[in-house]
Structure 1
Amino acid sequence: MSNALLRYWNLHRVSLLIALLCGLLYYAFGYHLLRSEFTKLCVLYAALFFLCYKLIQFEKWNFRLLLVLGLLFRIVLLFSIPNLSQDFYRFLWDGHLVLIGENPYLYTPDGLMESSGALIPMGDSLLRGMGPLSAANFSNYPPLSQLLYAVSVWLGGGKVLGSLIAMRSILLLADVGIFYFGRKLLKLFNRSPHLIFWYFLNPLVIIELGGNVHFEGVMLCFLLCALYLIHSGKWVPAALVLSLSISVKLIPLMFLPLFFKTFGLKKGLMFNILVILGVALTALPFYHPQFSGNYLATLSLWFSNFEFNASIYNVVKHLGSTMDLKPWELIKTYGKIFPFLVIAWVGLLSFLRGNRSPQDLALSMLLILTLYFFMSPTVHPWYIISLVVLCLFTDFRFPLIWSATLILSYSAYRTDPEVVESMGFLVVEYLSVYAFLVYELFKHRSFIWLIPKN
């Protein structure tokens, strides 16, 4: 061993041993874990989260080492089959449809298999894998996501593992983009650049994006790029990049009213028009008279039919049960009211807060998504990754607590394939998050942030 390597080992041997242990734990997580093994799942995740904290604590200024480790942890999961979510089967199904020139928004998998199942390679196995719920509904993934699925299937030669490797490569590049733009924005906001590692090394991010191939990372990469361009005074490119973010995941649509304060009424309107036009251009290849009806019908299910890992909705449901309200009627009523409450909250933050700088925008975005996820009937673990990124540019850290406790939501799969939520575990998850949020609100006296600065 050369003197330089020996010196490096002596300086960083504890961190390197921690990294080796993390790599072994990610290997166990990706290749030797079933979703129903809840105790094993929690032990592995808790250990990874603690070791992530120690790595950042010991090496927070060693950017090169932590960057390499984050990439290596993702590479460990490169050849695994996602074990916590079966959504990837639907991604592959939609990707195959796009490649053969069919519109994924016009057919349900069940219906297409009955009429012409031979169109889709491995159609039977993909249909079984995605489950009856996904198979019975139209696709709800936005246009750019569909194109990324198609590219992944093409690069993977139509094979499941090859397509997964292609998806993970795209997500790895997106995470590098988040690291790049996130670090730049942190410096511009006079915040410690090492905070980006609370995203880049976060086990929730590595497992849900790198392992379970959810495309929130691509959406967030475009969003941070747009914020950086806004800070640089390049609002036209920022609008086009933001449209790409929306075309991957619809979540940033909620942020559009914020820009009226950022740019003023006239330029804000032009910015919003450019964003909408950009989204429309990405949707143009999929245009069909039935497109909007099918898409909105599927999207509405998230508000009125599905429920998972909810907080406020579960409280409402419990109160409703004491009044003998039927659960299936309650969620439909709640689903009609919930969007209007979110719209009111977005309007409040858009027109009462300043939102002049990207830093103000990041805080408003965090507050919008926080209420949205607190009220939503469905909160899958990977949804919260957006909060993890945005909180790094603010004084709030409760999303990091949430990223640690979210693993408790997987208690619902202890009886896999049947999904049975445990209210006890959900109470622990949300009490931790709410308690820390209240602590931070009083610590920073953040209630006054809703009042205009001028």
Structure 2
Amino acid sequence: MFIKKASFTAITIISCLLYYIFAYHLERTFFGKIILFWTALFTGYIFFINLNFSFKNLATIAILFRLVFLLAMPNLSQDFYRFIWDGRMILENLNPYISLPQTFIEEEFLIIEQAEELYAGMGPMNGSHYTNYPPLNQLCFFIAALFSGKSILGSVIIMRLQIIFADIGIIYFGSKLLRKLDINPNNIFLYALNPFIIIELTGNLHYEPVMLFFLIIALYLFHKRKWILSGFMFAFSISIKLIPLLFLPIFLKRFLLRGRKIKWKENGIKLLLFYVIIIGTNGILFLPFISEFLISNYSNSVGLWFRSFEFNASLYYIFREIGYLFRGYNEIAIIGKITPILTIIFILLISLFRRNKTTTEIITTMLLASSFYYFTTTTMHPWYLATLVVLSIFTEYRFPLIWSFIIILSYQAYANLTWKENLWFVTLEYSILYGFLIYELKKPTQRLSGKNCYEKEKESGL
């Protein structure tokens, strides 16, 4: 027991030191050092996960590791500058959905505090596009501006506290949902202690934890058959990041099927109301920003991720090479329109042909749906992976955890003075990922999942 406690203390201290180095002394161009410290942190992560430490101890160090980053400026991402800009736009009663940072700088209309510094930080590419962050996310940015409207570091601290509190909420409600599903509640630390989650989200100020906080509450309430409240939480999750929109068709069978029969009359109204709550709530949240240009600006901004940007992609890079072979140029404008259609078709198929009646089955289908989307997308930034990581802990799949380790290979692109991807690193990343995924799909526990933990849930009506 003494050795176990001493080891726990020693690895906690070492991990804190490594997180401190990551937070305050590394830049994303230091690829070799990043790989070294990343690997060391994952080694400690494996130690914490595999030894039987108490929930309280693991929760404490999960929060402690995040607090190490509290006063640090994000050094692996520059998106936070745009977050601050949008928040200060709202503080000045300006609509961030209809104005470009570039316009303010070119016309020297510097009503935004520290405008030039923020624009330089976000970069011309970000500053030349309309914001694509949904309304509730904008509220988070506004709160940071409200409490720290003249200090970039102050705004960073406020936003980081929001993310840390969201992660605490995920630990709390995630563990409650795990208990309801008769799964070890310590599984939540596969997410909460994951170095990728701590560095990419708390460190780099990406708002996936806030989105996932509302999503976990939505799933928890849905499991307790409180589907109306669940709908509101689901709507809030979408209003932080749009990705949960992918999951809406997955609830069809849970509402409509009783045994093997579809009960339209009994539950069709409930299903419709569930969707109306989600879509209507998001519509209401957009009302403060309503403008004749809102829909066109927002849809064009979101569409850019499919038509123009490419990073750390998987199947898309194969499609791109085929396009080069037959057409002689990059076909992203065409491929970027096709892959979302493929995603929609895939989601509809697994929504209709998988059981999707128990909460565990629904979450597993969510994991498969979002995985397909990220496998085919043109742009796979590391922080997108957080959704897969948190969903996986409620299932028997662990490939997102493997991906959370090897996705650091994508940072090789920033090791050059001019950004450039090395496709050998991308190939290595996805070869390992797909190899492990195939292994998991072939495991008997996956083929017989209906006779495993899924049977532990009661299939009672909503």
User: TM-score range with shorter-chain normalisation?
Assistant: over 0.9
Aligned match for 1:93, one of 85, 95, 100: 85
C-alpha deviation, 1:332, in angstroms: 0.4
- Does 2:10 match 1:17? yes
> How many percent of aligned residue pairs carry the same amino acid?
42
- CA apart distance, 1:10: 5.3
**d(CA) in 2 for partners of 1:259, 1:10:** 48
Cα 1:9–1:88 change in 2 (3 A) is farther
Q: How far apart are residue 299 of structure 1 and its match?
A: 0.6
Are 1:370 and 2:392 counterparts? Answer: no
- Runs of 5+ in structure 2 lacking a partner? 257-267
User: Distance in 2 between the 1:308 and 1:345 partners?
Assistant: 23
| Alpha-carbon distance, 1:447 to partner | 6.7
Q: Deviations over 1:252-277 (max 9, x none)?
A: 01111112212223311110011001
Question: Shift in Å at residue 11 of structure 1?
Answer: 4.5
Shift of residue 324 of structure 1? 4.4
Give runs of aligned pairs for residues 397-408 of structure 1, distance below 5 A: 397-408=398-409
What is the TM-score of this pair, normalised by structure 2? 0.93
- In the alignment, structure 1 residue 31 sits paired with structure 2 residue 24: yes
TM-score (norm 1): 0.94
For 1:3, the equivalent position in structure 2 comes to none
2:66 maps to: 74
Aligned-pair CA distance for 1:449: 8.0
**Do structure 1's residue 350 and structure 2's residue 351 form an aligned pair?**
yes
Letter aligned with residue 295 of structure 1: Y
Kept in 1, the 8 Å contact 2:114–2:150? The answer is: no
Residues 448 and 294 of structure 1: CA distance in aligned 2, closer, same or farther (over 3 Å): farther
Please, which of 287, 291, 294 is the counterpart of residue 288 of structure 1?
291
Q: Which moved more, 1:188-197 or 1:68-77?
A: 188-197
1:10-43 Cα distance to aligned partner (Å, 9 max, x none): 5501111000000000000111101101000110
Alignment of 1:269-280 (within 5 A): 269-280=272-283
CA contact (8 A) 1:26 1:73 kept: yes
Write the distance in 2 (CA, Å) between the matches of 1:115 and 1:203.
43
Q: Tell me whether 279-288 or 258-267 shows the greater mean CA deviation.
A: 258-267
The match for 2:133 is 141
- 2:49 aligned residue: 56
Q: What displacement does 1:424 show?
A: 1.1
Q: CA RMSD in A?
A: 1.7
Are 2:249 and 1:252 equivalent residues in the alignment?
A: no
**Separation in structure 1 between the aligned mates of residue 136 and residue 357 of structure 2, nearest angstrom:** 29
Question: For residue 79 of structure 1, what is the amino acid of its counterpart?
Answer: L
Shift of 1:353: 1.7
Q: How does 1:178-257 map to 2 (within 5 A)?
A: 178-257=170-249
Instruction: Provide the C-alpha distance between the structure 1 equivalents of 2:3 and 2:339, rounded to a whole number of angstroms.
Output: 56
Tell me if the contact between 2:314 and 2:376 (Cα under 8 Å) persists in the aligned partners. Answer: yes
* 2:318 equivalent in structure 1: 315
Specify the code of the residue in structure 2 equivalent to 1:441: L
Distance 1:308 1:191 in 2: 36
Q: How many residues align structurally?
A: 441
Map of 1:390 onto structure 2 = 391
* Contact preservation (8 Å) 2:130, 2:298: yes
1-side partners of 2:232 and 2:107: how far apart?
A: 39
1:96–1:158 Cα contact (<8 Å) kept? no
Which deviations, in whole Å up to 9, do the C-alpha atoms of 1:317-336 show, x marking residues without a partner?
Answer: 22222334311xx0001011
Q: CA deviation at 1:156?
A: 2.4
Cα distance in 2 between the residues matched to 1:10 and 1:311: 44
1:334 is matched with: 335
Q: 1:163 aligns with which of 146, 149, 155?
A: 155
Letter in 1 for 2:374: F
2:178 is aligned with 1:177: no
Tell me, yes or no, if the aligned pair for 1:93 and 1:120 is still in contact at 8 Å.
yes
CA distance in 2, matches of 1:181, 1:266: 28
Local SS of the residue matching 2:109:
helix
In structure 2, the partner of 1:5 is none
Q: Is the 8 A contact 1:258 1:355 kept in 2?
A: yes
Q: For the Cα contact (< 8 Å) 1:138–1:294, is it kept in 2?
A: yes
Q: Unpaired segments of 5 or more residues in structure 1?
A: 1-7
Residue in structure 2 matched with residue 118 of structure 1 by the alignment: 110
* Whole-Å separation in 1 of the counterparts to 2:4 and 2:365: 41
Question: What's the offset of the Cα at 1:63?
Answer: 1.0
1:202-251 CA-partner distances (Å, limit 9, x unpaired): 01110011100100000000000000001111111110111000000000
| Aligned-partner Cα distance in 1 for 2:106–2:291 | 22
Q: Give the Å deviation of 1:448.
A: 8.6
**Matches of 2:445 and 2:332, distance apart in 1:** 35
Query: Which residue of structure 2 aligns with residue 300 of structure 1?
Result: 303
Question: C-alpha deviations, 1:339-396, integer Å up to 9, x for none?
Answer: 1101101111111122222211101100000000000010000000100000111110
Q: Which amino acid aligns with 1:436?
A: F
Say whether 1:443 aligns with 2:435: no
What SS does structure 2 have at the residue aligned with 1:314?
A: helix
Q: Which amino acid aligns with 1:428?
A: L
Partner AA of 2:443 in structure 1: K
